[in-house]
Chain A
Amino acid sequence: MATTKKKMVQWDPAHVKAELLAKYPTKVARKRSKQIMINEALENETPEITANVRTTPGIITMRGCTYAGCKGVIMGPTRDIVNIVHGPIGCSFYAWLTRRNQTDAGTDGENYMNYCFSTDMQDSDIIFGGEKKLAQAIQEAYDLFHPRSIAVFATCPVGLIGDDIHTVTKRMKEKFGDCNVYAFSCEGYKGVSQSAGHHIANNQVFRHIVGENDEEKPGKYKINLLGEYNIGGDGFEIDRIFKKCGITNIATFSGNSTYDQFASAHKADLNAVMCHRSINYVADMLETKYGIPWIKVNFIGADATAKSLRKIAQYFGDQEFIDQVEAVIAEEMPDVLAARADVCTRTEGKTAMMFVGGSRAHHYKELFNEMGMKVISAGYEFGHRDDYEGRQVIPDLKVDADSRNIEELTVEADATRFNPRKSAEEIKALEDAGYKFKHYDGLAPDMDKDTLIIDDLNQYEAERMVELMKPDIFCAGIKEKYSIQKLGVPMKQLHSYDSGGPYAGFKGAVNFYHEIDRLVNSKVWSYMKAPWQNNPQLSASYGCE
């Protein structure tokens, strides 16, 4: 098949930026201007990007709330914790099985993922308080299921009426004795996006679960995989690769995870961080309290997977392990390269846009690169500046009123269990060899010059971008999917993957190549106009007299 190198639509980033801002009231335009960055452009008036700030009311945002980040994202995928949502019914209903976190019920068979639990608050609870009902709900869950753990999530009204969910859960925990009960103050109005919810979840998992099980775990190369949610089975694929390499995954935060994984996380010797945005707090705290270093990894993309595996092997430094990792990569790559060579004949030179998450838009760039596709614009829904510009900006981040409300846990080295996994000399030797701990460069350095990096993209801007820049594929979430497709541009969900996956690891990369090939080359996009719409003239021979 002939190579279908496509001539890219020509556009000037400054012009596109001006077009995006043109329709806004002045105040909105001024604010949005700081969240739209022309990458590495010298004349750029905003050398740094504004991120993690409030969305303007009335602007149709892609963002969700703190509860969604806490319950939906971080705590949702753990199978053996009964997650009770304290609030009116909706919040629990909407987070019921909609994120496509896959799970394996394991040998113990404990799996509450398919259930939806709520206190279904009524007006009387709002008026008189919901603490009694919450305690009763926890009791009923305990009596019915006898789970090892029950988590409680606050929704908006809970904070407003002042229900003390932490005291209720503490009391119930003491009463049961064999069930860890704790709560998350993740009211939807906190913070400016899901991101605040991630932070709240990180804090409570660390405070209430991590370190609860001191049993030794077998395994030579023990790591935790942080920020992997097993959407579409990504975690299954990564675990398959780990097993082949001889890596023991003590805990995944939190795809296909269990309570005991979290409780044993301090037994690992390295933390590998996937989604930097949602979980870096846990990584930092595990290091401070237990002495476990962390590195940034990315298992999205076959080349990135190989790179991440090598990084893990280099950390442990054991030649046998390094050889095994190389053997696995050598075994897995031929199939990947064959699939890549095939799809590239149809995808090379095509363009993509990605507006997802707080790390995904960066991770998936690897996969598009592998297919010869160019990402012409990208951004995060709930990223912070460090996710764009790299962690070196963290000390300069301004703490505004919204982020001040989110608790920062102060963690100290554990008196008995702190154990630096590497000595200062070992760390230095690795760093001298180019190894980077606690390091994340962010999205911007990976994006080409003159591409557009946009934070908290909204519906209007998305539509204008597609009209102006005509990408071959657009990636975001379910809310954006069909408005983009109406324009005749295929849209791939990168939150929940539509119906596909896994896309992580080696097999996942092949799946993704095929999926994108299917989308950008589907025949359906040629059917949008009927024959009579393309050629409306009447034929002379049938013309009316």
Chain B
Amino acid sequence: MLLRHTPKEITERSALMINPAKTCQPIGAMYAALGIHGCLPHSHGSQGCCAYHRSALTRHYKEPVSAATSSFTEGSSVFGGQANMLQAIENIFTVYNPVIIAAHTTCLSETIGDDLKQIRKKALTEGKIPEGKYMISASTPSYVGSHVTGFSNMVKSMAGLAESTGKKNGKVNIIPGWVEPSDMEEIKRLTNMLGVKTILFPDTSGVLNGPLSGEYKMFPDGGTTVEELISAGDSIGTLALGEWCSAAAAHELDTQNKVPCQVLDMPFGLKATDRFIDALRIMGGVTVPDELSMERGQLVDMISDMHQYLYHKKVALVGDPDQLIAMTEFLVSIDMCPIHIVTGTPGKEFERRIKEITKDMPFEVNVRAKGDMFLLHQWIKNEPVDLIMGNTYCKYIARDEDIPLVRWGFPILDRQGHQYFPTVGYKGALRLLEKILGALQDRKDRDDPETKFELVL
């Protein structure tokens, strides 16, 4: 047993987190920053933070992740990190020549009170940021919120680049939230199908799913350009996907640039995708093409064809709030029963949304924000499930309890595909269904006695 010390009996813990269902803010800021074209993320803290975030993202994507660090020492921790940051800015523009530096703080620089906005001003005054180059910053203390909060904070800082010229550009801003590069690509395919011109930010497609061609581009071709971010202030509206990941940036554009916004759930599954497409159609003033209605119909078709394998199957879920809300809705919509749902990210609203979505389910639901995977495991021991959906760390629970696992979320360290195949939209929902059915039916084929073993499923 891999997690042999996890007892079935649940005791409340007030101080010890075991097997977290979250990580810290800065990695979210780094991931978001990689979605700007020509951007070098910068970690204002000890070297270790930057090394850990780069390693974690690299393991998840199997792609290079460049980011710089202020390399704090004990001295800078006492006297402040301004000198390190100024030196870093100069070195970065000289050696790596990015279009933009997106810097974020860490628990270290936050605790000593470094102010990146003020340091940026000083760098500007001292001519350390060359003409035509940019620097943005986000405050991302690791002891507040989670990686999701850090992502949101950096996306909000991107929105801060937006300017209003007074002339609308006819585009819709789409803030996709923390989804995979493949998902961002899929959102662009959908908006293209509808014929809506958009500014999608951040956009990690073409950055974290690049080709092997014999050439290393430190700044790959993908990513939202700074020009697009500036122009976002002239868009006709903003669709923010996910309250936790994207709402802050949308509200920033609303208040600063008077771009009206709508905050939707992330488009995972049938209903959330329906709402996304409908909102996009109305905001963009277009009609939905038949091809897309066809894709939707194919999804409904597969749900009806395979309903017998899904009906009342119990699921345990772990991940981030926006993703879990949409996934819970999808599972409930296909008559599956997500009964244990955990996120490490704080937020009472999360528990309220999940309870509302699952209120008519025939089983009692365990939901916890600011929970951990130790608790999830204990819940599973007390009330077993047919399927687990979550990141790679779930495989320790899955193996111990002999439960099928569908990998979905962050990080995925032991399987491939998330970089290339989306789970958003109708096509993405089809892929999710394929994965869920594959896991359940593989298990059925493994467990059925020979007398009941079936050719046709």
Whether a CB of chain A sits under 8 angstroms from the CB of B46 is: yes
Identify the interface centre among A88, A141, A527: most chain B CB within 10 Å of its CB: A88
Nearest chain B CB to A91 CB, angstrom units: 8
0 or 1 for each of B81-122: is its CB under 8 Å from A? (1 = yes): 000110111111011100000000011100110000000000
Nearest chain B CB to A171 CB, angstrom units: 15
Q: Chain B interface: which of A153-161, A413-421, A506-514? A: A153-161
Contacting pair B49 A65 (CB below 8 A): yes
Interface size on B, residues (CB 8 A): 83
Bound: A490/B64 CA distance, A: 14
0 or 1 for each of A50-67: is its CB under 8 Å from B? (1 = yes): 000011111111111111
Contacting pair B76 A56 (CB below 8 A): no
Whether a CB of chain B sits under 8 angstroms from the CB of A133 is: yes
Nearest chain A CB to B276 CB, angstrom units: 31
Contacting pair B216 A487 (CB below 8 A): yes
Once A60-B67, A88-B24, A193-B47 are accepted as A-B contacts, the answer to whether A137 and B16 lie under 8 Å apart by CB is yes
Q: Chain B interface: which of A117-125, A251-259, A304-312? A: A117-125
List A contacts of B70 (CB < 8 A).
57-58
Bound: A136/B88 CA distance, A: 40
List A contacts of B94 (CB < 8 A).
23-25
CB-CB nearest in chain B for A65: B48
Bound: A193/B18 CA distance, A: 27
Bound: A484/B66 CA distance, A: 12
Whether a CB of chain B sits under 8 angstroms from the CB of A398 is: no
List B contacts of A110 (CB < 8 A).
5
Contacting pair A160 B143 (CB below 8 A): no
List A contacts of B45 (CB < 8 A).
156, 188
Whether a CB of chain A sits under 8 angstroms from the CB of B132 is: no
Identify the interface centre among A59, A63, A156, A529: most chain B CB within 10 Å of its CB: A156
Once A61-B71, A90-B24, A96-B393 are accepted as A-B contacts, the answer to whether A114 and B3 lie under 8 Å apart by CB is yes
List B contacts of A115 (CB < 8 A).
3, 5, 18-19, 374
Contacting pair A54 B71 (CB below 8 A): yes
Nearest chain B CB to A481 CB, angstrom units: 7
Contacting pair B48 A478 (CB below 8 A): no
Identify the interface centre among A24, A84, A478: most chain B CB within 10 Å of its CB: A478
List A contacts of B52 (CB < 8 A).
64, 68, 90-91, 94-95
| A87 partner, pick from B72, B107, B112, B215, beta carbons under 8 A | B107
Once A64-B48, A89-B20 are accepted as A-B contacts, the answer to whether A105 and B4 lie under 8 Å apart by CB is yes
Q: A interface, how many residues as a size bin?
A: 35 or more
Whether a CB of chain A sits under 8 angstroms from the CB of B282 is: no
| B396 partner, pick from A94, A112, A114, A133, beta carbons under 8 A | A114
Bound: A55/B45 CA distance, A: 13
List A contacts of B216 (CB < 8 A).
463, 483-484, 486-487
Bound: A161/B141 CA distance, A: 15
- Add 12 more A-B contacts to A140-B13, A487-B216 (CB < 8 A): A24-B91, A65-B46, A90-B24, A90-B25, A90-B107, A111-B4, A112-B5, A137-B15, A140-B14, A157-B108, A160-B108, A192-B73
Q: A residues touching B (Cβ–Cβ < 8 Å)?
A: 23-25, 28, 54-68, 84, 87-98, 105, 109-112, 114-123, 125-126, 133-134, 136-137, 139-141, 143-145, 155-157, 159-161, 188-193, 401-402, 405, 459-460, 463, 477-479, 481-488, 524, 527-529
What are 23 contact pairs spanning A and B, CB under 8 A?
A: A54-B73, A57-B70, A58-B69, A58-B92, A61-B69, A64-B48, A65-B51, A68-B52, A88-B141, A116-B19, A116-B20, A118-B16, A119-B16, A121-B107, A121-B143, A141-B16, A156-B72, A157-B107, A188-B48, A188-B108, A190-B73, A482-B64, A528-B212
